[in-house]
Structure 1
Amino acid sequence: MTAFVIRRLLQAIMVLLVTSVIVFVGVYAIGDPLEILLPADATPAERAQVTRTLGLDQPLPVQYFGFLMRALQGDLGTSFVYNQPAVQVILQRLPATLELAFCALLLALVIGIPLGLLAGLRPGTRTEETVMTGSILGFSLPNFWQGMMLIMIFAVILGWLPSTGRGRTGTILGIETSLATADGIRHLILPALNLALAKIALVIRLTRTGVQETMPLDFIKFARARGLSGRRIVSVHVMKNIMIPIITVLGIEFGSLIAFAVVTETIFAWPGIGKLIIDSINILDRPVVVAYILVIVAMFITINLIVDILYSVLDPRIRAKR
């Protein structure tokens, strides 16, 4: 296990290095931030001064080498717009996105697993057809359209829930979160549900397939022969067998929830890093864009490593191979 973790960490460092080159060159080759940061009537002297201040007067390889040296010290540059370290700007918004992603993932598990079990344990019935049809809609409907429909129904027509913003926050164990207040929870429901819909459909399909593949196996027949109840067979033997692929897929999908929450955060004006990256691209705040992508890549790598470790915990055969 130790050798495996070390090997994965070395791979992670190489991935981050290659990603930093691609992202830095790609982002810094697009547009001129001076056109946005300076007024139209700025003098050549003012433009030259700002160019020197931002380090944009140096060749691109020199800029990247300086960026890499600073990155090794935890400095990913200073935002052109906020005049703060880019990492600090991202970390200020990251808790809101993590909160949204965690709630979406929780909804996917709480709703998706029971519905998947229901469909898997009743193959060929109208119940299975209904559940699977609903899962197809979850995959097929565009995320932005789902968000607009949720706002239209629950915020505009029924008036039950607010449509935008994070609402009032509080602290739980020293962490600022919307879950600490009733107003914050009301603001969280719609964006979390919108972000979770596709993942709910995914969990339903994974669970249903896992159940239908597991139920005919010999160890399930032996469990029935021993007189175990159907509930115990499902909750212990079946669930343990199907959770490995679910954990694997959801581990990767959690990273995608964070990285691709852009649409949901934009529709619901949720103050997370998804909305931040859209604003930063629009104003060519290059350090924030580069830092955002590197932070997201680092999170993907970390999540994949955690998933691999959980894999070996759930299935000793995998640990033995390593």
Structure 2
Amino acid sequence: MLGWLLQRVAQALLVIFAMSLVVFLGLHAVGNPADLLLAPDATQIDRAELVARLGLDRPLWQQYLNFASSALQGDLGRSFVYNVPAVTLILQRLPATLELAFAAMVFAVIIGVPLGLYAGLYPERVLSKLIQTGSILGFSLPTFWVGLLLIMTFSVSLGWLPASGRGETVRVFGVEWSFLTLNGLRHLLLPAINLSLFKVSLVIRLTRAGVREVLPLDYVRFARAKGLRRGRIVMMHILRNIMIPLVTVLGLELGSTIAFAVVTESIFAWPGSGKLILDSINALDRPVVMAYLLVVVTLFVIINLVVDILYRFLDPRVREEASA
């Protein structure tokens, strides 16, 4: 187990290094931040001073080595626009994004798993066919269009829920959280539903496919022959086995939800890191973009590692193969 864990950590560090190199080269191939930061009437002397102060006059390899050396010490550079540490800006906004992403995944599980179970257990019923049709719509509808529709319906027309912002928050361990207040929950509901739409559809399809695959297997038929109650068979034999691929997919989807919450945050004016990264890209604020991508990739790596560990505990066959 220890050897496998060390191997996975080494792979994770290699992924982070490769990503940082690719992104660093890509960012420095697009535009020059000095063109956006300088006033139109700036002189060549002003431009040269700014380029030297930002370190953009050095060779590209030296810039990357300086960045990598500082990153190993926890310093991801200072924002060109805000003149504060880039990682500070990211960490200030990241809790809002994490809260939104986790809320979306909770919706995906509590809605998608029961609907997928029903559709898999009773595939010929009318409701099951409606659930499958709805899951296809969830894959097809654009996120920005659904978000605007939710705002027009529940905020503008009905006035039930707020259309933007994060609402009231509560500070816990130095971090602001909105889900701990009623007003914050009301603000969280619409963007979380919007962000979870694709995930709900994915969970429904995966759960239904898993149920249809497991139902004909011998251990389920044997459980029926023993006279076990249907609810016990579903919970102990069917759901337990389909959770193995579900955990893997949901772990990967959590990472993508964090990374691609940008559209939802923009529509609902949610003060997360997505809005910050859009503004930083427009301003060519390289340190902030670089810090954001490094933080997101690190989250991806950690989530994948946790998923792998959970997979080993859920599936005994993986443990046996590893120990063989």
Equivalent pair of 1:171/1:180 in contact (CA under 8 Å): no
Specify the SS of the correspondent of 1:281: helix
Cα 1:73–1:172 change in 2 (3 A) is closer
1:265-305 C-alpha deviation (Å, 9 max, x unpaired): 11111111111110100111000111111111111111111
Identify the residue that residue 106 of structure 2 maps to in structure 1.
Answer: 106
Per-residue deviation at 1:235? 1.3
Distance in 2 of aligned mates of 1:201 and 1:282: 33
Distance in 1 of aligned mates of 2:5 and 2:275: 34
Corresponding position: 1:222 with 2:222: yes
Amino acid corresponding to residue 249 of structure 1 in structure 2: V
Distance in 2 of aligned mates of 1:10 and 1:118: 42
Q: After the TM superposition, which of the residue ranges 104-113 and 9-18 deviates more from structure 2?
A: 9-18
**Corresponding residue pairs, total:** 322
Identify the residue that residue 263 of structure 1 maps to in structure 2.
Answer: 263
Structure 1: 5+ residue runs without aligned partners?
none
Specify the SS of the correspondent of 1:26: helix
Per-residue deviation at 1:166? 0.8
Distance in 2 of aligned mates of 1:77 and 1:4: 34
Cα 1:52–1:174 change in 2 (3 A) is closer
When the two structures are superposed, what TM-score results if normalisation uses the length of structure 2? Answer: 0.97
Identify the residue that residue 188 of structure 2 maps to in structure 1.
Answer: 188
Structure 2: 5+ residue runs without aligned partners?
none
Distance in 1 of aligned mates of 2:131 and 2:58: 59
Distance in 2 of aligned mates of 1:173 and 1:227: 51
Identify the residue that residue 25 of structure 1 maps to in structure 2.
Answer: 25
Amino acid corresponding to residue 268 of structure 1 in structure 2: F
Identify the residue that residue 314 of structure 1 maps to in structure 2.
Answer: 314
Identify the residue that residue 97 of structure 1 maps to in structure 2.
Answer: 97
Distance in 2 of aligned mates of 1:65 and 1:220: 58
Specify the SS of the correspondent of 2:179: helix
1:17-72 C-alpha deviation (Å, 9 max, x unpaired): 11111111110121111122121112222222221111111111111111111111
Identify the residue that residue 293 of structure 2 maps to in structure 1.
Answer: 293
Distance in 2 of aligned mates of 1:175 and 1:228: 48
Matches within 5 A, 1:196-235: 196-235=196-235
CA RMSD of aligned residues (A): 1.2
Corresponding position: 1:38 with 2:38: yes
Distance in 2 of aligned mates of 1:267 and 1:302: 29
Equivalent pair of 1:172/1:180 in contact (CA under 8 Å): no
When the two structures are superposed, what TM-score results if normalisation uses the length of structure 1? Answer: 0.97
Distance in 2 of aligned mates of 1:171 and 1:217: 50
Equivalent pair of 1:77/1:85 in contact (CA under 8 Å): yes
Per-residue deviation at 1:171? 3.1
